[in-house]
Amino acid sequence: MDIENKMKTSDAGIQLRPWLKLGMGLGLIWIMAYVVLPWGQTLPHIQPVMSAMEKADINAADYWYTQSEETARAQMFVRNAIRRKQ
Amino acid sequence: MADVQSPDKDTQEYVIDKQQWEWSQLWKKEDWWAIWLGFLLIVAGMMIFLPRPPEGMAEKLAKAESTLQAEDARAPFRTVEWHKANDAKSGLRATNEPYAKTIAQWLQMPGRWAGNPLESLYLSEEAAAERRAMAEPAYKNAQDATKEALARAEAAQSLAEAESFNNPQLNEQAEKQISEWRMLREKERGSLRSNATVQSYNKIPYLIGLFILIGLFFTIGILFMNIDTANFWKGFWFLFLIAVLAIIIGNQETMRKYGFGDVLWAIVLGMLISNTVGTPKFIKEALQTEYFIKTGLVLLGAEILFGKIISIGIPGVFVAWVVTPIVLVSTYIFGQKVLKMASKTLNITISSDMSVCGVSAAIATASACRAKKEELTIAVGMSMLFTAVMMVALPTFIVAVGMHPVLGGAWIGGTIDSTGAVVAAGAFLGETGMFVAATIKMIQNIMIGVIAFGVAVYWCARVDCAPGQQVDKMEIWYRFPKFVLGFIGASIVISIMYASMGSAGDVMMEHGFIRGLTRHAREWFFALAFASIGLSSNFRELSRHFKGGKPVILYICGQSLNLILTLTMAYIMFFLVFPGITANL
């Protein structure tokens, strides 16, 4: 009886293990988002850059120029600026 | 991703494609469906946007243009009127029209959030009002400060004008005041304004609608491609859900700041599931990675506008279009000859994402050379990690050594991988630095069209064959990844149209159907593709590619070369050969 119970418990443990791993993975993402990365932002060399980014409301995750509003303004400005009397 | 393996020196096994052309490929292969669907969306976008320009567009553009010219001739510096005309011109966009806003509402992704993830999907009127109330005083102060700075700038400019702009001291004073006004205006436009003008929203019904629309859109091809449509739909909801969750995580404030966007989280979430509880069987038919990614790439082709190459003149062409291919080829050769990387596809994908533009370059190159999913995952992950480091380190160094913002901006634009990180790093140098950095990066983005095409041809003709094997033209055609034709075709057609429309091209094309429709669709397709990659990848396969740390060594060595060459070229171009351009920026 004991052996049977132990086997059932170990089966349940094996079945639970993947879900525990998934939970741990999600937990790591949570720790990264709420503990590690916010702490990193307070470091003296990182803080000024992050602060400038926050004020300018920039999304550093934009991976292509059409996702960024700033590229459009930059292009217009640069194009109009460099054609001035050279 | 890959059906065709590259020659593997370790095993000396060569998988040589013996393909033949069949007309049925036109409706049976996802390469062709990517082209048909991509162009369907582009044409639909044109039909919606092009006949509906903003009211008085031509007159407004002509007025802004004549003011810019008149002000250029009037004063030796950029006057208040010059800036106002420039703002008016760049503010004229088809995407501001009501119909475009409706389209954007249907295609929008979950929004940004800080502490509560539900805020990316739903914001009540009370919560929005509370946020507005908190931000309004600071926003009002910023607006007042901008107005006062404008008045000071106008007064200083009038004094300079009274001396016919011949007094250098008064000119300098006016320029300084104008620069201060612009700086405060920038500050007012940033997070202060977005918080003070936030409106309530509920994105859930739109997301449900979008799930059905995207599902139906891809079903058109699925019906012809020997894929079970019912099974596709059974799994598609799950895939869409993972993509939505990835976008939500990527839009968390901290993640946005570090540049860890939805693409990374789609892979991470997918891999977490597939390597722990396992990818559910019912979604297998929905994991159409290549179909999603290639359709997205055809749409990306429409965003590659060759006219933009000359945006910053010849110096920009040299920094972005001469250094980049040199670094790309050198890094690839270094990977093969020195590091002796077993996988050529991983070698070229990393070389491309490091030297060109990160994620987008990795996607385009990996698809062009048929790299494995795990190889694309490695390239994207490394690019994002190194970008986060460089985004902080490079501008800090530039400011610490007192480098000129134009030189610093060009250096940042030519070396940091992703556009958002380039803009963020450039912003630390001020407006000029940010504008130069963003423009250089944009020019470099355009290069991905040429590189993807070149890689596709090189792989068909040289890599995917046994040593010494001669490949004739027809064989190249059989092997060539056909979606690249759509990618390049879209780029050429849209570039010609864009160039022929003059300033209206910016209003109706880039800020019309591209930023208003195809770009949103492309972002969704890539999110689905990366969720699909994550769900079908495993850690063991991934770690196999990391043996000896070769991908990391390749990236670091390539990026070091990139940093040296870009800085040297930027200095030569902006300070020795074309100092006039630098003076005008």
- What's the mean pLDDT when you consider all of chain B? 91
The percent of residues above 90 in pLDDT, for chain B, comes to 80
Angle subtended by helix axes B483-500 and B289-301, to nearest 10: 20
The residues spanned by each domain of chain A are 1-41, 44-86
**Confidence label for B17 from pLDDT (cuts 50, 70 and 90):** very low
Domain count, chain B: 2
**Domain region containing B98:** 74-204
Which residue, B143, B141, B161, is CA-closest to B81? B161
Residue B16 has what DSSP assignment?
-
Pairwise CA distance, residues B10 & B8, whole Å: 5
Q: Which of B90, B242, B263 has the highest number of chain A CBs within 10 A, making it the mutation to test binding with A? A: B90
- Please give the average per-residue pLDDT across B406-427, as a whole number: 95
**Quick one: pLDDT at residue B310?**
82
* Token representation of residue B401: 């050594």
Q: Are B284 and B235 in contact (CB under 8 A)?
A: yes
| Whether residue B389 is found in the same domain as residue B260 | yes
The continuous run of DSSP H or E covering B123 comes out as strand B122-123
Q: Which residues of B touch A56 (CB under 8 A)?
A: 186-187, 190-191, 424, 427, 434
Q: Are B57 and B504 in contact (CB under 8 A)?
A: yes
**Quick one: pLDDT at residue B542?**
84
**Confidence label for A8 from pLDDT (cuts 50, 70 and 90):** low
Q: Is A14 on the interface with B (CB under 8 A)?
A: no
Q: Which of A65, A68, A85, A86 has the highest number of chain B CBs within 10 A, making it the mutation to test binding with B? A: A65
b/e code B140-156 from CB counts within 10 Å (16+ = b): eebbebbeebbebbbeb
| Whether residue B559 is found in the same domain as residue B498 | yes
The one-letter code for the residue type at A60 is A
Q: Which residue of A has its CA nearest to B578?
A: A86
Residue B462 lies in a domain: yes
| Whether residue B381 is found in the same domain as residue B473 | yes
- Please give the average per-residue pLDDT across A41-70, as a whole number: 89
| pLDDT for B297 beyond 60 | yes
**Confidence label for B25 from pLDDT (cuts 50, 70 and 90):** confident
| Whether residue B328 is found in the same domain as residue B476 | yes
pLDDT single digits (tens) B550-572: 999 999 999 999 999 999 999 99
**Quick one: pLDDT at residue B13?**
39
**Confidence label for B308 from pLDDT (cuts 50, 70 and 90):** confident
Pairwise CA distance, residues A51 & A72, whole Å: 23
- Please give the average per-residue pLDDT across B135-156, as a whole number: 95
| pLDDT for B2 beyond 80 | no
**Quick one: pLDDT at residue B1?**
59
b/e code B409-431 from CB counts within 10 Å (16+ = b): bbbbbbbbbbbbbbbbbbbbbbb
- Please give the average per-residue pLDDT across B307-327, as a whole number: 89
Give the ipTM of the model, two decimals please: 0.88
What is the distance in angstroms between the Cα of B420 and the nearest Cα belonging to chain A? 4
Task: Report in angstroms the alpha-carbon separations of B432 from B123, B409, B584.
Answer: 36, 8, 10
Residue B65 lies in a domain: no
| pLDDT for B14 beyond 70 | no
Compare CB distances from B419 to A21, A29, A62 and report the shortest one's residue. Answer: A62
| pLDDT for B195 beyond 70 | yes
Name the more confident of B92 and A83.
B92
Q: Which of B439, B446, B448 has the highest number of chain A CBs within 10 A, making it the mutation to test binding with A? A: B439
Pairwise CA distance, residues A70 & B439, whole Å: 9
User: Would you call B86 and A67 a contact, using CB atoms and an 8 Å cutoff?
Assistant: no
| Whether residue B107 is found in the same domain as residue B223 | no
| Whether residue B214 is found in the same domain as residue B175 | no
Q: Which residue of B has its CA nearest to A50?
A: B257
**Quick one: pLDDT at residue B16?**
44
Q: Is B66 on the interface with A (CB under 8 A)?
A: no
Which domain-ending residue is among B204, B223, B255? B204
What is the count of residue pairs from A and B with beta carbons less than 8 Å apart? 204
Residue numbers of A between 21 and 50 with CB closer than 8 Å to B:
21-22, 25-26, 29, 33-34, 37-38, 40-41, 45-46, 48-50
User: Would you call B261 and A29 a contact, using CB atoms and an 8 Å cutoff?
Assistant: no
Q: Comparing B182-191, B282-291, B314-323, B413-422, which segment has the lowest mean pLDDT?
A: B182-191
**Confidence label for B462 from pLDDT (cuts 50, 70 and 90):** confident
Residue B274 lies in a domain: yes
| pLDDT for A53 beyond 60 | yes
**Confidence label for B19 from pLDDT (cuts 50, 70 and 90):** low
Q: Is A11 on the interface with B (CB under 8 A)?
A: no
What is the distance in angstroms between the Cα of B399 and the nearest Cα belonging to chain A? 11
**Confidence label for B9 from pLDDT (cuts 50, 70 and 90):** very low
| pLDDT for A7 beyond 80 | no
**Quick one: pLDDT at residue A6?**
67
DSSP-assigned states of every residue in A11-39: HHHHHHHHHHHHHHHHHHHHHIIIIIHHH
**Quick one: pLDDT at residue B8?**
43
User: Would you call A60 and B190 a contact, using CB atoms and an 8 Å cutoff?
Assistant: no
What is the distance in angstroms between the Cα of B475 and the nearest Cα belonging to chain A? 34
Pairwise CA distance, residues B314 & B488, whole Å: 24
- Please give the average per-residue pLDDT across A21-44, as a whole number: 93
Name the more confident of A27 and B538.
A27
**Confidence label for A1 from pLDDT (cuts 50, 70 and 90):** low
Helix (H, G, I), strand (E, B) or coil at B575: helix
- Please give the average per-residue pLDDT across B535-542, as a whole number: 86
Q: Are B370 and B4 in contact (CB under 8 A)?
A: yes
Phi, psi for B8 (deg, rounded to 5): -115, 115
Which domain-ending residue is among B185, B204, B223? B204
What is the distance in angstroms between the Cα of B584 and the nearest Cα belonging to chain A? 6
| pLDDT for B414 beyond 50 | yes
| pLDDT for B7 beyond 50 | no
| pLDDT for B15 beyond 60 | no
| Whether residue B176 is found in the same domain as residue B134 | yes
* Token representation of residue B85: 């005309």
Which domain-ending residue is among B145, B172, B204? B204
- What's the mean pLDDT when you consider all of chain A? 85
Residue B56 lies in a domain: no
What is the distance in angstroms between the Cα of A1 and the nearest Cα belonging to chain B? 30
| pLDDT for B68 beyond 90 | yes
Q: Which residues of A touch B584 (CB under 8 A)?
A: 81-82, 84, 86
Is B6 buried (19+), middle (13-18) or exposed (0-12) by CB count in 10 A? buried
The percent of residues above 70 in pLDDT, for chain B, comes to 96
Residue B5 lies in a domain: no
Compare CB distances from A61 to B78, B260, B581 and report the shortest one's residue. Answer: B260
Q: Is B326 on the interface with A (CB under 8 A)?
A: no
> What residues contact A81, with CB distance under 8 A and at least 6 apart?
B78, B584, B585
| Whether residue B442 is found in the same domain as residue B513 | yes
Pairwise CA distance, residues B68 & B62, whole Å: 10
**Quick one: pLDDT at residue B379?**
94
Range among B181-195, B322-336, B535-549 rated most confident: B322-336
Residue B379 lies in a domain: yes
User: Would you call A49 and B425 a contact, using CB atoms and an 8 Å cutoff?
Assistant: yes
